[in-house]
């Protein structure tokens, strides 16, 4: 037991296990690993707990000053941010961008279950983080069968220290996860614990025929889901999305968006933009599956939110070339919203067309989409690989 355990009634491994069992994500084949590899052994003294949605971080919790609260958060089903700004931020407040974490336990075990490992399988993990996921795999499959890649040397060093403390020795590699680790290929399974907007083909090349790749995928606009891809003899990986997700981006694929003020006319809004009204609520564009659908069909689109008093806001749609933009103003209770569109493209009209398509397809959710990756390209499909989702705009 750690010093925090006795002072926190109801919190601990057994309590979290009960929650995960009730949610159906901690299965009997993973329960021994869960019991043998405690989450608290893979969490640093300072952490920023998130929410069940995974998109907000709370204030810092320090094990040395509040061990009971630290223990309670570690054994809650929430993600725990453990690094900001690639380690440049060292204060107790939040940094600009979260860059490493201990993932939400529900997601950890749901993705491990989707990985469908079998005795003797060799697994490559991309994104070591705190090391908990790799340690769970190493306990179940044997350390010799697990390779984990981490781009940040300091994060990798901490994970190695935690591996040693628990007697597990997966091969820990410092490097660009987008390249995989060809020296130990082929792998039966590859799992990414970071978000991607394109599947590195190196992962497909390093997976044996019939093997699986499980990775959180999402377009720059937002909305992310876990793809479960099977590698075929033709060098093509294809499969469905199996659940929604929210992971930090692979460092190699972090988006670099142009500043709003750099767009013609944006700094002196509305400039020469064309005004109209729309019945499509800007709030709909924030739903996770709507963001996914819009981002898939308009892959060069991204958004920003300009908050106002009383929960009102202005949603900006912008495109990567830096030429076109649109805004839609949201106020609670309204059914018509003011839109301004500027530039050679009409971005809000493109969003309306995507949502009309989505409704016409029966309002599909994540699990009805899939992804196919070839040496030349990747495409999202609906229902079947032969039914690609249309791509618009560019």
Q: What is the pLDDT of residues 27-39, one digit of tens each?
A: 999 999 999 999 9
- Closest by CA to 245, choosing from 224, 229, 228, is 224
Q: Please provide the average confidence, as pLDDT, over all residues in the chain.
A: 94
Structure tokens at 2: 């750690």
143 vs 11: CA distance, rounded Å: 29
Catalytic residue list contains 103: yes
- Does residue 4 surpass a pLDDT of 80? no
How distant is the alpha carbon of residue 220 from its chain centre? 12
Whether 212 has a pLDDT exceeding 60, the answer reads yes
Give the pLDDT band of residue 90 (cuts 50, 70, 90).
Answer: confident
The pLDDT of residue 7 is 37
Report the 10 Å Cβ neighbour count for 305: 13
pLDDT band at 94 (very low <50, low <70, confident <90, very high): confident
Among all chains, which residue has been given the structure tokens 């329960």? Answer: 31
pLDDT band at 3 (very low <50, low <70, confident <90, very high): very low
Q: Give the pLDDT confidence score for residue 57 in this predicted structure.
A: 60
CATH 3.40.50.150: which residues of the chain?
5-245
State the DSSP code for 352.
H
Residue 163 to residues 107, 113, 390: CA-CA distances in angstroms?
A: 21, 22, 45
Distance (Å, rounded) from C-alpha 133 to C-alpha 119? 17
pLDDT of residue 178 exceeding 50: yes
User: How high is the pLDDT of residue 73?
Assistant: 96
What's the fold here for domain 260-360? Double Stranded RNA Binding Domain (3.30.160)
Label residue 62 by pLDDT band (50, 70, 90): very high
Q: Are 37 and 166 in contact (CB under 8 A)?
A: yes
User: Measured on CA atoms in the order 201, 207, 208, 213, is the torsion positive or negative?
Assistant: negative
pLDDT grade for 16, boundaries at 50, 70 and 90: very high
List the one residue out of 127, 239, 263, 118 whose CA is nearest residue 193. Answer: 127
What tokens appear for 50 in the block? 């998130």
pLDDT at 5 over 60: no
Across the range 294-314, mean pLDDT stands at 95
For the residues 133-155, what does the mean pLDDT come to? 98
pLDDT attached to residue 315: 97
Question: One of 100, 103, 238, 245 is an active-site residue; which one?
Answer: 103
Total-model pTM = 0.94
Preceding omega of 270 cis (within 30 degrees of 0): yes
Contact between residue 42 and residue 55 where contact means Cβ atoms under 8 Å apart: no
Give the pLDDT of residue 52.
64
CATH topology of domain 5-245: Rossmann fold (3.40.50)
Looking at the chain, which residues constitute the CATH 3.30.160.690 domain(s)?
A: 260-360
């Amino acid at each position: 037991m750690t010093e925090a355990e006795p002072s926190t009634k109801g919190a601990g491994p057994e309590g979290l296990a009960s929650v995960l069992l009730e949610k159906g994500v901690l299965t009997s084949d993973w329960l021994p690993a869960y019991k043998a590899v405690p989450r608290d052994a893979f969490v640093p003294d300072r952490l920023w707990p998130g929410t069940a949605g995974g998109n907000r971080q709370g204030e810092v919790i320090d094990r040395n000053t509040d061990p009971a609260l630290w223990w309670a958060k570690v054994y809650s089903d929430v993600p725990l941010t453990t690094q900001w700004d690639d380690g440049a931020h060292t204060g107790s407040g939040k940094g600009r961008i979260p860059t490493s974490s201990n993932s939400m336990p529900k997601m950890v075990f749901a993705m491990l279950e989707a990985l469908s490992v079998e005795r003797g399988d060799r697994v490559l993990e991309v994104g070591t983080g705190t090391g908990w996921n790799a340690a769970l795999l190493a306990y179940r499959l044997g350390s010799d069968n697990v390779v984990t890649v981490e781009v940040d040397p300091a994060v990798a060093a901490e994970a190695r220290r935690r591996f040693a403390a628990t007697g597990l020795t997966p091969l820990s590699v410092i490097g660009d996860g987008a390249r995989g680790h060809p020296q130990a290929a082929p792998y039966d399974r590859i799992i990414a614990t970071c978000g991607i907007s394109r599947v590195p083909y190196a992962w497909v090349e390093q997976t044996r025929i019939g093997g699986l790749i499980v990775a959180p995928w999402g377009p720059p606009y937002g909305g992310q889901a876990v793809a479960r891809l099977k590698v075929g003899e033709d060098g093509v990986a294809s499969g469905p999305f199996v659940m929604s997700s929210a992971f930090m981006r692979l460092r190699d694929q972090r988006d670099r968006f142009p500043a709003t003020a750099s767009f013609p006319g944006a700094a002196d809004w509305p400039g020469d933009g064309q005004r109209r009204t729309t019945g499509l609520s800007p709030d709909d564009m924030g739903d996770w599956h709507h963001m996914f659908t819009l981002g898939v069909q308009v892959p060069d689109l991204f958004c920003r939110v300009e908050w106002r008093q009383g929960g009102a806001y202005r949603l900006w749609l912008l495109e990567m070339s830096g030429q076109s933009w649109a805004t839609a103003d949201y106020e609670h209770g309204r059914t018509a919203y003011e839109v301004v569109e500027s530039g050679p493209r009409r971005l809000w009209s493109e969003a309306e067309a995507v949502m009309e398509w989505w409704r016409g397809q029966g309002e599909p959710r994540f699990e009805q989409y899939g992804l196919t990756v070839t040496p030349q390209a990747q495409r999202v499909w609906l229902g079947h690989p032969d039914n690609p989702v249309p791509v618009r705009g560019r």
